[in-house]
Structure 1
Amino acid sequence: MKYSLAILFSWVFLASASMVQADDNRAVPVFKDGEAQEVEAFKDSDFWLRHDLWVETEFDSDDDGKLDRMHVSVTRPRQTETEGLKLPVVYVTSPYFAGTSPSNSEHMWDPHQELGADPPERKLSPEVERRGMRPIISKSHANEWVPRGYIVVHSSSPGTGLSEGCPTVGGENESLAPKAVIDWLCGRANGYTTVDGFDRVTAGWCTGKIGMTGTSYNGTLPLAAATTGVEGLEAIIPIAPNTSYYHYYRSNGLVRHPGGYMGEDIDCLYEFIHSGDEAMREHCNECIREELFHMNMDRKTGDYNDFWASRDYLNKMDSMKCALLMAHGFNDWNVVPEHSLRIIDAARDRGLPVQVYYHQGGHGGPPPMKMMNRWFTRYLHGVENGVENDPRAWIVREHDDREKPTPYESYPNPAAKMVELHLKKGAPEQGELLLKVKGKQGKEKLIDNYSFNGESLARAEWTEHRLIYLTPKLKQPLHLSGTATIKVRMACDREAANLSVWVVSLPWESNRDRRITDNIITRGWADPQNRHSITESEPLEPGKFVDVEFALQPDDQVIPAGQQIGLMIFSSDQDFTLWPKPGTEITVDLDRTSFKLPVVDGKQGWQRAFKDPEPEEAPAEEAPAEEAPAQE
């Protein structure tokens, strides 16, 4: 189908002609204290120019013999047309703009699956009913950035909206699509007025400096573009990005579902976003969902393979060269916090400009506007505002306003050191978690039963379905910063078992939003069959002890006085793992099991937390003033 822009461009010409400033006082971006300010001449959205186009890519993901074209929309101040003003671009791309499938639990994978067995059949999600009106793909971010002297560009991902191609959920075309748009903005790729025509559109109003941002999937795609090394992409601000689809749908060899989406896997997400051309859906379904996903995603073993490796952006970081401002929530159990930290560390190792903003909430949550403004002002407008000398880490402390994060030299806190803790027996009630344990503790057992969720297990005074070990009550706050690790010496009465670990703060305080609770400090999951490698499972020999060692999710949290820290070991996690039939018995060797927590000030900070606080010194009494002589 061909689309004409004649009406739109006629409106643009008339609006532009009527608004030309007679005194030739040209509007330009204004900066104060290192930040782009709102400019009165850019603020009136009635006079923003909006138009769309299709950018030609370098791939043909729908195999129709033609290079796929991406649907792109532009929102820019009228001065870029009437006064020849060139501005940098804030670019947002997404698979969600044209709508998503109304899928629900009946279209997810049934978690009732025995470990190592073939998964049950799944009911497919209904097809997406595409929505949206040209020329506007989305209005997001325009109100924040256009008045500050930026152009805002949106595009729909391959196989979504009016973009051609097939969705691949992390495939190469999802990196090359935004790269093509950036190439077009910089004059290196072709843009056309229609999806199948040859009337070209250029971006002469762009300075060639582009920044990207977005949340969740929309935050993943800026990283995807950055890993191509495309010229012109100067800075990105990913918010809660999924940086590895393996780490999203698996964990240390274990099939693990994202929090709140029990049974979802990569093929479900494909169906959720596939809003593209109806004529190509059957072909995309056959090539992508059936041949690529179902042959490679492996819900039977959960092992890491080439399919998952190709969807892990950490493997592609060598080409990245833009500045990175990362944002994430420590209580994000949808896209867990390891996603951001692994990329932050890799970017720092490559000498790239990096800042991180962490908050204590759940999924999403952008940095304060001031932080984002300084970032884009520095790297897109080129204003030397010293942002590269700002603190590397900004963390919202417990119960603080998200707009007022506390600055730190880095994350994890440079003063944090690992403190090794040991287990004192107590099952089926509560054992102890201590620096040192006197005497042999022997072995304790738990029986798997997914019917009990993690919260109920943590709160239980007596249960055979978990092992839990508590510290004494804190007498002073304890600051944790970094990634905890655990080494479990375990045996199982079967060839396979889930292994789940929670670190909690007790007593439990009820919270209406179970995704965001102060009681969960961190969590982790692993498949004991993958104890030696995540690429190859090795069945357990019933009754034989093995060591399973893995990292939990990164955190930065101050645990208040009066709480106890609990280490909970159990098997199937109702909210995250598969649900095999109850009854698997796991035995833990307490003397060969250890747990390491990252504590600010290390062992000294740990010991201080269990001591009575020093009494505050009473203010010295002031010496009485001399009496004034009596007045005569």
Structure 2
Amino acid sequence: MRVLQIGCAALAWSVAATTSLFAAEPAVPVFADGEAQVVKAFEDPDYWIRHDLWVETEFDSDGDDKLDRVHVAVTRPRQTDTEGLKLPVVYVTSPYFAGVGSNDKAYFWDPKHELGETPDKHKVGPDIKLKGSRPIISKGHTKDWVPRGYVVVHSSSPGTGLSQGCPTVGGDNESLAPKAVIDWLNGRAKGFTSPDGDETVTAYWSTGKVGMTGTSYNGTLPLAAATTGVEGLEAIIPIAPNTSYYHYYRSNGLVRHPGGYLGEDIDVLYDFIHSGNPTRREYCDCNVRDKEMAENMDRVTGDYNEFWAGRDYLNDLEPLTAAVLMAHGFNDWNVVPEHSNRISQALKAKGVPVQIYYHQGGHGGPPPMKMMNRWFTRYLHGVENDVEKDARAWIVREGDDAKKPTAYDDYPNPKAADVELHLTGNAPERGTLSLEAVPSQGLETLVDNVSFDGAALAKAEWTEHRLMFVTPTLNEPVHLSGTPKITVRMASSKPAANLSVWLVSLPWNDSKDAKITENIITRGWADPQNQKSISESEPLEPGRLYDVTFDLQPDDQVIPKGQQIGLMIFSSDRDFTLWPKPGTELTVDLDATKLTLPVVGGVEALKKSL
């Protein structure tokens, strides 16, 4: 076996040209105001070295009795060869780089079926056609980080692209694959020039300091890698990460689809990313999708179980030591904002360096470059820029530039306090939402009808398909910061029912330029059958009242003067839940139903606004 140091022999012709172009002084990273600066000698892509390799992992997920190898691509300044320069690494891994499957809803689960019934199996989409060509897996992030004195590394997740193994959508191999790459960058794992050969490659140009980033699935994988506690992973910047596949595809015992992907479930996502080696496809499909997923994902009860617990990174945080800069949008209804909040709160309690950047938009949206630069400069280059002393929370206020967030001591806002609101009935019109409880409000009933979407129900002045309760018109803005909670005492006319809650800002803005997110403060969903535990459901006794308590999605929003805060309780949410036939009746005990809002300034601030 011989070791190949890619670049040296192949680049001998260019050394003289490079030396004359970039003068006698060695090119090194430059820092100012706590940030890595663009270095002229690193800036020209024509003078970058690009090569690929396969890193050997510690697992065999595709059943061929050989350790899986993952495909890795490297982009680095030429000076890492010509001047022996060693640099830290910004690393991005993904299941998407080689292409993805069809988003045709024909290959999704059909949401139209009765609750508690076993649904018909969905069709499997066509095989994915691989895209891209070696040695480049992706060019993402290279223009940002290579000129600032970093090597950028990309890899394809197991079972995708030219990586061996099976996709598992949150299984252990998705954590161990990037761990192996980081081990290789630190000289602890083997890299090879081919997927099956024995010619090795070393990362002689790496300092061993690694930071990871990415958005959505690509933002999940940095967290996955960090939960292994791998040495050398110093910092991560997950953007809109999915931190629990249960919380992505279920909600408080309820089968709930991510926004925009009605009918998607974990096996659909498996098919969407499975672009890997066709010779092992049958094994992967049989053992992962058709066995493990099919037997455990449970679209009948929606209960939390060991399968979902194994894909919940909150359960795996003990080994994590990497500094975490998290980013999320409060109006992300694909990967809802609880994903980042639940992890950042746990990491704060654990004592790991953590900051959070929230904006008012939807899915995706990285922190400003200045924030990311300071983060990686501190933890990868070791420059003492005091970033760890910065504000813990950065929130883009309504209407502000995303690059100019407002600093807060923490999230939720430390000045926020829970305020309890009570209901006064007026169904099928709008009742009231107030600080004072008015006794003997009794029961009100709504009739489920998924034909009407949530926006139509919220705008309706009169309808039997939802219950609506509104505050008086605000005479001062109200700042909410944190996680609203609700307890609904309810009865169902059937043994199973959806329960959906929206918190809205009224009057509804219906202008052509308005976004629905301007009207929706937050949302939440629950299965009343799981009122005791998300792990165990039991059929509802028709007509019996149950207390169903659950969190809505976390938020930080200023509701402007002149608006009303509205609480809408309904059953099936056309954009998120299953679609049972209309007619299920939910009866709500108004006296025992309570909404808790996290209000900055507490009850006195809300009193002033009302």
**Aligned-pair CA distance for 1:168:** 0.2
* CA separation of 1:280 and 1:13: change in aligned 2, threshold 3 A: farther
* CA separation of 1:7 and 1:589: change in aligned 2, threshold 3 A: closer
Q: Are positions 1:55 and 2:63 aligned together?
A: no
**Counterpart in 1 of 2:353?**
353
Q: How does 1:309-458 map to 2 (within 5 A)?
A: 309-458=309-458
CA deviation map 1:132-156 (0-9, x unaligned): 1000000000000000000000000
Q: How does 1:25-424 map to 2 (within 5 A)?
A: 25-424=25-424
Aligned counterparts of 1:171 and 1:433: Cα–Cα separation in 2: 44
Q: Which runs of 5+ in 1 are unaligned?
A: 611-632
Aligned counterparts of 1:386 and 1:171: Cα–Cα separation in 2: 36
Aligned counterparts of 2:608 and 2:108: Cα–Cα separation in 1: 48
Q: Note if contact 2:73-2:154 (Cα within 8 Å) is conserved in structure 1.
A: yes
Detail structure 1 runs of 4+ shifted over 2 Å in the superposition.
4-18, 20-24, 510-516
Aligned counterparts of 2:521 and 2:475: Cα–Cα separation in 1: 18
Identity of aligned residues (%): 69
**Aligned-pair CA distance for 1:32:** 0.3
Letter in 1 for 2:112: H
CA deviation map 1:330-358 (0-9, x unaligned): 00000000000000011111101010000
Aligned counterparts of 1:223 and 1:511: Cα–Cα separation in 2: 40
Letter in 2 for 1:572: S
CA deviation map 1:591-623 (0-9, x unaligned): 01100000000001101112xxxxxxxxxxxxx
Aligned counterparts of 2:112 and 2:424: Cα–Cα separation in 1: 34
Aligned counterparts of 1:602 and 1:124: Cα–Cα separation in 2: 51
Classify the secondary structure of the residue corresponding to 1:319.
coil
* CA separation of 1:293 and 1:494: change in aligned 2, threshold 3 A: same
**Counterpart in 2 of 1:544?**
544
CA deviation map 1:148-171 (0-9, x unaligned): 000000000000000000000000
User: RMSD of the alignment, in Å?
Assistant: 1.5
Q: Are positions 1:585 and 2:585 aligned together?
A: yes
Letter in 2 for 1:265: D
* CA separation of 1:16 and 1:284: change in aligned 2, threshold 3 A: farther
**Aligned-pair CA distance for 1:327:** 0.2
Aligned counterparts of 2:14 and 2:214: Cα–Cα separation in 1: 31
Letter in 1 for 2:140: S
Say how many residue pairs are matched.
Answer: 607
* CA separation of 1:516 and 1:362: change in aligned 2, threshold 3 A: farther
**Aligned-pair CA distance for 1:445:** 0.1
* CA separation of 1:512 and 1:247: change in aligned 2, threshold 3 A: farther
Aligned counterparts of 2:568 and 2:114: Cα–Cα separation in 1: 23
Aligned counterparts of 1:100 and 1:8: Cα–Cα separation in 2: 32
**Aligned-pair CA distance for 1:440:** 1.1
Aligned counterparts of 1:132 and 1:29: Cα–Cα separation in 2: 31
Q: Note if contact 1:16-1:78 (Cα within 8 Å) is conserved in structure 2.
A: no
* CA separation of 1:16 and 1:108: change in aligned 2, threshold 3 A: farther
If you compute each CA radius of gyration, which structure gives the higher value, 1 or 2? 1
Classify the secondary structure of the residue corresponding to 1:300.
coil
**Counterpart in 2 of 1:472?**
472
**Aligned-pair CA distance for 1:513:** 8.6
Aligned counterparts of 2:403 and 2:424: Cα–Cα separation in 1: 42
CA deviation map 1:388-433 (0-9, x unaligned): 1100000000010000000000000000000000000010000000
Aligned counterparts of 2:563 and 2:353: Cα–Cα separation in 1: 38
**Aligned-pair CA distance for 1:8:** 7.3
Q: Note if contact 1:331-1:516 (Cα within 8 Å) is conserved in structure 2.
A: no
**Aligned-pair CA distance for 1:15:** 3.0
CA deviation map 1:314-343 (0-9, x unaligned): 000001001000000000000000000000
Aligned counterparts of 2:36 and 2:457: Cα–Cα separation in 1: 51
Classify the secondary structure of the residue corresponding to 1:115.
coil
Letter in 2 for 1:94: S
**Counterpart in 1 of 2:462?**
462
Aligned counterparts of 1:590 and 1:578: Cα–Cα separation in 2: 26
Classify the secondary structure of the residue corresponding to 1:179.
helix
Letter in 2 for 1:455: A
**Counterpart in 1 of 2:14?**
15
Aligned counterparts of 1:125 and 1:513: Cα–Cα separation in 2: 36
Q: Which runs of 5+ in 2 are unaligned?
A: none
**Aligned-pair CA distance for 1:518:** 1.1
Classify the secondary structure of the residue corresponding to 1:517.
helix
Q: How does 1:442-521 map to 2 (within 5 A)?
A: 442-510=442-510, 517-521=517-521
Q: Note if contact 1:99-1:273 (Cα within 8 Å) is conserved in structure 2.
A: yes
Aligned counterparts of 2:66 and 2:413: Cα–Cα separation in 1: 51
Classify the secondary structure of the residue corresponding to 2:351.
coil
